[in-house]
Structure formats: C-alpha cells, structure tokens
Amino acid sequence: MQKHVVMVCDHIHESGLKMLESQPDIEYINVADLPKDELLEVVGKADVVITRSSTEINEAFLNAATNLKALVRAGVGVDNVDIDGCSKRGIIVMNVPTANTIAAVELTMAHMLGCMRSFPYAHNHLKLDRVWKREKWYGYELKDKKLGIIGFGNIGSRVGVRAKAFEMDVITYDPYIEPSKATDLGVEYTTNFDDILACDIITIHTPKTQETVGMIGHKEIEKMKEGVVLINCARGGLYDEEALFEGLKNGKIRFAGIDVFVKEPATDHPLLDLDNVTVTPHLGANTYESQYKIATQAAQQALDAARGISYPNALNLPIRENEIPEYAKAYLELMQKIGFLAAQANKGAIKSLKITGEGEIGEYIESLATFASVGALKEALGEGINYVNADFVAKERGIDIQKKALPAKGAFKNKISLRLTTENGVVEIAGTIFNDNVQRIVEINNFALDVEPKGRMILFKNTDVPGVIGDVGQILAKHHVNIADFRLGRDNKGMALAVIIVDNDVSEDVLEELDALEASVYVKYVIL
C-alpha cells in the first residue's frame, strides 16, 4: 500500500503528532527542528504539510514542494502563506480558525479585570518591591459598567456572555450580523458607532481589513468618556497605536489591555513605557487546551486532505491555469471586485445576492456566484471568507443566492451584474471586459458609467442641478484631496451619479461635508 506523506514543518502539541504517527496509511515525517534551508531539500516528498508561523510558504517553498496537494496552517493567521501561489498550483490551504476561541475570550476577560483592578501593578508592588500599601490600589468593579463590543462573532459574542455574567451592561456594534444574534443573548445592538464610544470599557474583536485598521483613532478617542478602558486581544493595528499612546499618556484613556501589536515582537514599543497598560506577548492562543485542540484539529484536517476525504476550513480555490479560459478568469476577478464594491456601498447584513451572466460568460454562472460571494462577504469577514467556504458561509448566514445565465443583449458581448440586498437597501452593479482584459464597471444602480474598478472611489448621488460638480470639487480641494478621475452618469428622472476616483484617503469629515450639500442624495466611500 502506497502511503500518503504528511510532513510537520513546525512544532505542534504532541497529541497531533501521535494522531499522525498512529495511521497505517500515513507516512509521518517531523522536520520541525530542521533548518529552513534544509527543509526545501526534503519537502518535495510531502503530499500534505502542517505549518505554523515559523515556516514561510513562499515561492521557493512552493517550487520545492512538487508533490504538495494541501497545506494546513495550525492556527488562524495565514500571513506567512502565499495563498495565491498555492491556488495557482492547485494546493488547498486550510487553517484552524476556532480552536483558540475560548483562550482568546478568557484572555480578553483577564485584561479587562487586570485593567479595572490594576492587578499587574499591585502584584509587582508587593512581590517585586515588597511594599504593602493597600490604599494605593483602589480599583473599579465590572458590575454596572457599560461594555462596548466591536465585532460580535465567535469571540466577541462569548465575551458578551461572560460580561453579562459580571452584571455588566453590554452593547455591540457589528453591521454584518443580524441584530437578533445579539439581542437573543441579552446584548443591546446598535448601528451607531458613537454608542460604543460612549461606553466605560471598549473591546474589539474584528478581522483585520481595510475598514477595521485604525478603526479607533484620534477622532474616536476624543469622543470617548474620560477614563475609558480599551482592550485589544484581536489584531494589531485595529487601534491606532499613536492615538492610543497619546490617550493613555494624557489620561483620556485610564487603562488599556493589549495583547497584539502592529509589529511583533514589540519589545521596545512606546506603550511599554506607560504605567497604565497591561500587556501580553500575543498570548491569545496560548493555553494548553487550545494548543491541544489546534494540534489535533490540524492533524485531522491533514489526514482528511491526504486521503482526499474533505478540506475543512479551506481558504482558497485550487484554480489550474488550463481549466478556465483566460476571458472567463478576467470576469471572475471582476465579479469579486463588484461584490466587494457593492458590500462597501451598501453596508449591512446581506439578505440576498442575485448574480447574472449575459453572453458566453453565463456558462460560468456557478463560479461567478462563488466569486461574488467572496467579494461581498470579504467586507465583513476579511480572511475568514474564501472560495471554498463561500457557499457554506452564505447559507449559514441565510443569504439567498440567485443565479441567472442569459443570452447576450445590448452593446456588450458579455456582461456580468450583481444585485446585493441588505436591510439598508439595494445596490446593483454591472461590468464587462474590453479588449486586452480591461475591466470596467458599466452600470451602478441603473446609471450608465465607464469606471475602472480600482482605487479610492467616492460615489455621490445628487439631484441633477447646476453647480454640484463645482461644489464637490471645492470641498475636496479644501481638504487637499486630489481628483484622479471623475465619471458621471445621469438618468431621465433628474438624478445624477458621480464616481470620483481620488488619490488620497477620504476622512469622515469630508464625506459628511459632501453629504451636507443641498443636492446630495447619498455619499458612499469605497476602496478597491
């Protein structure tokens, strides 16, 4: 019997190793202690590899791994994995996303309690300095404090349940869930982010996406209560570290509990100089229980993949270059961009997606639907959504996906469109590919346009009256926002839609000022 080769490239809990070692149809090779340059000499034997953060899955690794069919990242993060490179080679990439959930939840509660009672400092005062001074260490109770939770997924929701057990008043902000997910747990749900900023304690539990990086910055901290407590055990950079430092230094933020940093290891970070911070070196997954679960789940996924049974938590679609015609690949890429654009322009829990392919591209309607789902859900889930799990996640969230293939009509040989519906409304976007694979958005909400789907875009709908373009230009110029392109669509109902592509980031202040124009119907800001 020919055995499947599973190679373990980094150290995992021995429970996972024992699982692999005990399988009669598996040749288990442990190279965790092998220098990484020597790893490239042996990885060609592997059908499946298990890695952690120490092994870079880059072009050199993939070129050496000539027999590799699947890769399991024993943990959540895949920053060290070239997922696109794996996809092109037909290598399925999986991670282990939920094994450390409880560990991260409990660490969050530990930081919360540590901040409220100054526990690390009181501990050091007695144990290291040998000073018994009870009056120095008055703290605050969690009971009756208002906790704001940003992101109410697997971790945020469990933090909410535990906070309720402490008799806290809990409110959450997460525009990508149904409100009932929170209210069924006795947690208040809000669509107004300022409600979170008014809380006594704020904790964040979101993926790291372009929307969430720097989500708490100078402007948000200014709106907070004096003496607010901030917790981040999710991802480095969700809080603007410079703004966090300033807020802690001037006392606006009374205490912060931080487990993650933008750059790690963070042994010389300015936050370490402050005496109102509890810090840990990215310990969110560091419990014996979670390491056991990570190792055993990673081992089971590797076994299933080696045997071709299943690929749980797969993060990519193994696309081989010779299986899809070039013209169709371009449309799939465009459809994903359209989904991402639509989700940013119509934020909220997605109710339905309607995908249409007109012309020959309609033959690939199933793939178009998958790519549309990935793009639309990426806004909420970041790396948590992928081509393999998109249909499952959409079904789990109750999203109705409709697919329609139609003959070519109108001016375009092939045209794709997406209708995305949330509780906030509907957005429809259509696109096509011109010669030389030039991608174009050709319709937004029935306005005919010609827009390259790339960069920072302001979508500005207005009543079609004189002076609007000049007013918009003046506002952007005042805020030093340079216009790279300005595309305008008009209808026969007295309305116009401008897609303004700009070179600079656009602040909320700019968007609010644009929205305040008398002619404004709505203003949206999207980034592709």
Taking the CA atoms of 189, 195, 200 and 204 in sequence, report the sign of the dihedral they define: positive
**What CA–CA distance (Å, rounded) separates 190 from 195?**
7
Instruction: Report helix, strand or coil for 303.
Output: helix
**What CA–CA distance (Å, rounded) separates 462 from 497?**
6
H-run or E-run covering 196 = helix 193-197
String of b and e for 75-84 (b: at least 16 CB within 10 Å)? bbebeebbbe
Residue 251 tokens read as 């006392």
The position carrying tokens 């409990």 is: 106
- Write down the H helix ranges in 169-237: 179-183, 193-197, 218-223
End-to-end alpha carbon distance in the chain:
50
Amino acid present at 363: E
Is 11 marked active-site? no
In contact, 433 and 327? CB cutoff 8 Å: yes
Of 282, 397, 440, 487, the catalytic one is 282
Taking the CA atoms of 34, 35, 39 and 41 in sequence, report the sign of the dihedral they define: negative
In contact, 352 and 427? CB cutoff 8 Å: no
**Which residues, listed in sequence order, are joined to residue 522 by a DSSP beta bridge?**
461
Of 89, 235, 254, 269, the catalytic one is 235
Is 235 marked active-site? yes
Of 264, 323, 423, 512, the catalytic one is 264
Instruction: Report helix, strand or coil for 254.
Output: strand
Is 264 marked active-site? yes
- The catalytic site residues sit at 235, 264, 282
